[in-house]
A and B are shown apart, each in its own frame.
Chain A
Amino acid sequence: MAERSFAKEVEKLRLGAGEEFAGEGILAITKALLQCGVGYVGGYQGAPISHLMDVLADAQDILGELGVHFEASASEATATAMLAASVHYPIRGAATFKSTVGTNVASDALANLASGGVTGGALIIVGEDYGEGSSIMQERSHAFAMKSQVWLLDPRPNLPSIVKAVEDGFELSEISNTPVMLQVRIRCCHVHGHFTAKDNKRPAMTVADALNAPRRDTARIVLPPASFLHEKEKIQKRWPAAVDFIRSRKINEIFGPDHGSVGIVMQGGMYNSVIRALQRLGLADTYGDTDVPLYVLNAVYPLIDDEFLSFCEGKQSVLVVEEGQPNYIEQAFSSMLHKSGRGTRIVGKEHLPMAGEYTGQVMLDGIGSFLRAEAPHLLPGEVRAPNKVGDGVDTADLINVVPGRPPGFCIGCPERPIFAATKLVEEELGKHHIASDIGCHLFSIMPPFELGATTMGYGLGPASASAFNSPDAKRRSISFVGDGGFWHNGLTSSIGNAVFNKNDGVIVIVDNFYSAATGGQDILSSRAGNKTKSTKHPITEAVKGMGVKWLRHVDNTYDVGKMQDTLREALTTEEKGPKVIVASSECMLNRQRREKPLVDKAIKGGERVVKPKFGVDEDICTGDHACMRLSGCPSLSVKSLDDPLRDDPVASIDQNCVGCGNCGEVADAAVLCPSFYRADVVHNPSRWDRFLESARRATISLLQRRRESRRLTFADA
């Protein structure tokens, strides 16, 4: 079960010809796949393409009607390898994942797929996680397209354009026998817009048809001598076919006047920001009508030499707007011009930064700088020589005031107590080398925990600690891996490797029942039933199967004391070989989403329900905030007391507390203070509850009255 239900979105997939689709970019792509008669889809979830996977997972009925096979692949490599179905059979297939991290994982399969080539259209939709909001290293997918010679589309960021890119992509792939990558950036995936739908198409050949009539062709298999021929075929056959298609179908677009002394070339994805800069410079209107000739590359690889050279005709200089580095496109264009002996100058990274996202301001500054240098006559006077007015506000002071707000563990997150326990163990046994992995648990590197030295890739946490295995060391390494990473790659690359190489370190597998960071998708060890997937495969069994001898299972991560004891034992035991701790508790975000409506319904229905919440006695709390240094829970915060005797704010728990138990456990395990209390509210109490309660309250208030009648009571005390 994913974090959200996509029942509403699934209905949009049923829209027919002429109807208007309204929704997110990534859902438009999903719909476009069905309109193109795709035969199978696979992928691995991750922002910004998770919703594509989630919607298809919820759309089994529609997929079944159309005969489309859908898989939540084990990894990006699996998803790309799946495209092998299009090698011999004329079936359109699509794979999707986050890039460049996913493309890294996929590149083995991608290179093999690209070498042999495809018969059916093979489309790889990569969510380019670059710039603000990105959670990964900043690289370009472009390099993968170049190295394996797969074509790369980068359409303008609006729904009709990306839907068209899906259609074009399949055709291009089929005509050139080459897989095609369709690159969409974060904001484009999440942009809400409209396009006119077409009817969904049943694939001309389904995977069932293919299975019933198998084909093979040795010439398509990557093994000498075929592999040598593949490389030649790429250059002699597939490339020209792709160039012809892109040119003849006018995949790239030209806007603005036919003539001009300057022009701008851009990746399709940059188009809207370029127009905005031109609008602000007084050179374009709201609808993008502009005074500057624009050449928009909806296909960024391969580039079309003659199309580009004819755009340069009569131009003194052309600006290349290419986000990220290295500037492959700019280099390619420079080379084309140089070899053709043209006088047009290519500029790009002189005016725009080599690295980093091309934000609105960067684009405005860069294009402004280009035009002032190369074509000042185009610019309105007030831009060319502005009467500079001060911005008015000095924000230097504010920068020191406004605190950073990086993402962190959610309210009630079951991973929080794991890291609280780790911090406590480190206080006892000293600092250790800690290797982190990819997933929500990577938030441990941030305050208040500040645990973890490196992150080397999904499922590679323990692998990244493999060098730290020395008989001379007095301390062991600790490494973390999530359940998502474990099944993605960790079982073999991390656990298997540790067993085989007799690694002596401690491995903590953080099991929260989902691939939580990507939106709560089910994985092999998910504990919920899933109609179309096989779940409930315990991680502990897999680890044992790998040959791990020292294995502990903490089935309630909120038990900080037990977590602490288990970690201590793992770090100090005499036993050799990897020490694996599986720490399991359900992701609270998903648990609440599942349980909250049920609990509310039960309370309304008159059932007895106990709802926990934590609180702090503000007169017992001394305002030291030691609890927060072991928590960071959004629900546990600071509050000023209306008491001049007290200088520092005290701890306070807000109404969003889900009563996970971490506060009480940590206060106990770390021997902090007795300020915390857990308040369990019994809704719809039974008669026995009520009887017990009245008896208790009678006796308790007797004691209270007795004491309070013999002392002074201050109303505010």
Chain B
Amino acid sequence: MLDTVPSSHPRTGAADEPVIKLAVLAVGGQGGGVLADWITDVAERNGYVAQSTSVAGVAQRTGATIYYIEMARDTGRMPIFALSPSQGDVDILIAAELMEAGRAIIRGFVTPNRTTLITSSHRIAAVSEKIEPGDGRASSSKVHATAEAAARRFIAFDMEKIAADNGSMISASLLGALAGSDALPFTRESYEQAIGAGGRGVKASLAAFGASHDRVRGTAAAPQATEPKGGEAGLGPTGKISGPQSLLQGWQALAARVGALPEPVRDMALRGLRKVVDYQDAAYGREYVDRLDKAVALDSADLAFALSIAAAKHLANAMCYDDMIRVADLKTRSTRDTRVRREVGVKAGSILQVTEYFHPRIEEFCGTLPANLGLYVENRPKLAAFLDRRINHGRRIRTDSFAGFAALWFIGGLRRWRRGLLRHKVEVAHMERWYALALGYVPADYALAVEILNCRRLIKGYSDTHVRAQSKFDRVLSALDLLKGRADAADWIRRLREMALKDEKGDLLDGALKTVATL
């Protein structure tokens, strides 16, 4: 790559009129065009000539898009402006989403000692990030860290939230950050005039613009970061508990048992306990703590109680398997109604109607029968198929209507008999096998035992997805025989689990298993 020199008049060598180069990277649909128009307008209001250009077309359909503006003081002669940004030749880079800032850096549009990089720190996950069965999201911290080093000045905060809070679009808060940064030699008033000239949603745009501007100037404080997990913010394991006195007393006793656990285990154990008691009842909570105690007994402070913490987490998840009863119970709680109203934004005077989507199959039906009866049906394929034809249909249930609500309320009420139902027997047996398997490894390979516990993460989803998840779980653990006696067995199980979370069918996992077979 050639280095370039600051331009001066080629003949006379006199100082030249500098050109300011500004690029906007956005995701299609974010209103990048509006922002580019505003910036061009601001420049012209300030006695500059400006040129903006873009690549529209299908790129606008949710893909990454780019807008480019050049401007220079108006001297009466028309400058020759470029139509697209060049690597190492951008003064101001505005990104409307964090990964787009990352993309700008990769494309070379951000130069140390030169570029002011303004980005909203919020994320819009790309399709590739969303479709992984695990957590496929890109690392934001890596972009932040690189941006700090790559830009002359790096301004990043959640401008999407500022826009939403003010009932506006992100283009307004991005413009506010640009104005606040003083990267362009223009007054705040001229920016506001440009917004005003736009004509639509001016008040909200100005509010978002102002909030963002003041945030950059430091005249508006950054919002306090929300308390990290486990704090006293009320959402942690110390959140309020209410209920009849007798049950509360039972709870106190259970909580006391968790309180007596080694300190590092307590937080996770208390969360787990709340989950299982909420799922079933206090007796179920007792079972949870009893099981957990087995891991704690084998554990030691030298190993930071990793085994017990993993057990506390995954036991709770295993015991709270997702059955029809749980779904019905969760969907009929008053807290759920409150949450939906908040999320949907139902204003006073409006009415909310909620439709639920259910698609029960014979498997779910049998699981909700008493164990013997359920097995009876399952063992008779013709009968099962006959019943399945009647059951296996999509059902839309209106939980704002009494009949719909009552139906789910009734199913939620089957909780009392859950222990006698087929699904419970199956789940408990599966859990016991897994738990015993893990604990059995503790003396020989502590790390491996922890990894086996962690494999519980693989089990999720409903119906076919659940079956597939079970199969991945089994496939990962099938490697245990192959890995017998290896010092890196725990590492391999972890790797296999990560592979299993990468794709839907577990093709990567199968590939990795083949590798394991060759060890």
Q: Which residues of A contact B (CB under 8 A)?
A: 47-48, 129, 132-135, 157-158, 186-188, 190-193, 271-273, 275-276, 279-291, 359-361, 364-365, 368, 380, 382-383, 386-389, 391-393, 395, 397-399, 401-411, 440, 443, 446-448, 517, 561, 610, 613, 615, 617, 619-620, 622-626, 628-629, 632, 634, 636-638, 642-645, 647-649, 655, 664, 667-674, 676-685, 689-690, 693, 695-696, 699-701, 703-705, 707-717
Q: Which of B382-429 contact A (CB under 8 A)?
A: 394, 396, 399-402, 405-406, 409, 412-413
A residues within 8 A CB of B81?
272
Query: Nearest CB to that of A393 among chain B residues?
Result: B150
Asked if A680 meets B127 with Cβ closer than 8 Å, knowing A157-B83, A625-B132, A712-B247, the reply is no
**Total CB contacts across the A-B interface at under 8 A:** 439
Could you show 22 A-B contacts with beta carbons less than 8 Å apart? A133-B59, A191-B53, A192-B53, A275-B80, A280-B4, A280-B89, A284-B7, A397-B142, A403-B99, A408-B61, A408-B127, A638-B129, A638-B130, A642-B229, A644-B271, A647-B134, A649-B135, A676-B357, A677-B399, A685-B349, A700-B402, A714-B274
The answer to whether B128 and A403 have CB atoms under 8 Å apart is yes
Q: Which of B313-330 contact A (CB under 8 A)?
A: 313, 316-317, 322, 326-327, 330
Instruction: Please measure, in the bound complex, the distance between the C-alpha atom of A154 and the C-alpha atom of B187, giving whole angstroms.
Output: 40
Binds A, one of B235-243, B257-265, B366-374, B442-450: B235-243
A residues within 8 A CB of B59?
133, 135, 407
B residues within 8 A CB of A634?
29, 62, 124
The answer to whether B82 and A276 have CB atoms under 8 Å apart is yes
Closest 3 CB pairs of A and B: A360-B86, A133-B55, A47-B57
The answer to whether A645 and B313 have CB atoms under 8 Å apart is yes
B residues within 8 A CB of A707?
332, 409, 412-413
Supplied contacts A133-B55, A615-B344, A700-B402, 5 more A-B pairs, CB within 8 Å: A360-B89, A403-B99, A643-B271, A648-B460, A678-B355
The answer to whether A671 and B359 have CB atoms under 8 Å apart is yes
Shortest beta-carbon distance, A564 to chain B, in Å? 12
The answer to whether B82 and A273 have CB atoms under 8 Å apart is yes
Most buried by B among A132, A275, A411, A620: A620
The answer to whether A624 and B460 have CB atoms under 8 Å apart is yes
A residues within 8 A CB of B394?
561, 668-669
User: When the two chains form the complex, which single residue of A359, A613, A632, A678 contacts B84, counting CB atoms closer than 8 Å?
Assistant: A359
Task: Say whether B251 faces chain A, with CB atoms less than 8 Å apart.
Answer: yes
A residues within 8 A CB of B31?
none
Shortest beta-carbon distance, B144 to chain A, in Å? 11
Instruction: Please measure, in the bound complex, the distance between the C-alpha atom of A191 and the C-alpha atom of B136, giving whole angstroms.
Output: 38
B residues within 8 A CB of A710?
244
For B138-167 the 0/1 string (1 means CB < 8 A from A) is 110011001001100000000000001000
Query: Nearest CB to that of A623 among chain B residues?
Result: B460
A residues within 8 A CB of B58?
47, 135, 407, 440, 517
The answer to whether A408 and B5 have CB atoms under 8 Å apart is no
Query: Nearest CB to that of B267 among chain A residues?
Result: A644
Task: Categorize the interface residue count of chain B.
Answer: 35 or more
Shortest beta-carbon distance, B416 to chain A, in Å? 10
User: When the two chains form the complex, which single residue of B130, B268, B340, B413 contacts A628, counting CB atoms closer than 8 Å?
Assistant: B130
Asked if A628 meets B131 with Cβ closer than 8 Å, knowing A192-B52, A397-B146, A715-B241, the reply is yes
Asked if A392 meets B244 with Cβ closer than 8 Å, knowing A284-B10, A289-B9, A620-B330, the reply is no
The answer to whether A135 and B51 have CB atoms under 8 Å apart is no
Q: Which of B28-71 contact A (CB under 8 A)?
A: 28-29, 37, 40, 51-64, 66
B residues within 8 A CB of A380?
5
Task: Say whether B331 faces chain A, with CB atoms less than 8 Å apart.
Answer: yes
User: When the two chains form the complex, which single residue of A132, A192, A670, A679 contacts B340, counting CB atoms closer than 8 Å?
Assistant: A679
For B160-182 the 0/1 string (1 means CB < 8 A from A) is 00001000000000000000000
B residues within 8 A CB of A387?
3
Instruction: Please measure, in the bound complex, the distance between the C-alpha atom of A643 and the C-alpha atom of B233, giving whole angstroms.
Output: 13
The answer to whether B359 and A364 have CB atoms under 8 Å apart is no
Query: Nearest CB to that of B99 among chain A residues?
Result: A402
B residues within 8 A CB of A712?
241-243, 247-248, 251, 277-278, 282
The answer to whether B405 and A703 have CB atoms under 8 Å apart is yes
Binds A, one of B204-212, B292-300, B463-471: B463-471
Instruction: Please measure, in the bound complex, the distance between the C-alpha atom of A271 and the C-alpha atom of B82, giving whole angstroms.
Output: 9
The answer to whether A395 and B105 have CB atoms under 8 Å apart is yes
B residues within 8 A CB of A703?
332, 405-406, 409
Shortest beta-carbon distance, B452 to chain A, in Å? 15
Instruction: Please measure, in the bound complex, the distance between the C-alpha atom of A622 and the C-alpha atom of B17, giving whole angstroms.
Output: 59
Asked if A393 meets B146 with Cβ closer than 8 Å, knowing A280-B5, A674-B358, A679-B340, the reply is yes
Instruction: Please measure, in the bound complex, the distance between the C-alpha atom of A438 and the C-alpha atom of B88, giving whole angstroms.
Output: 36
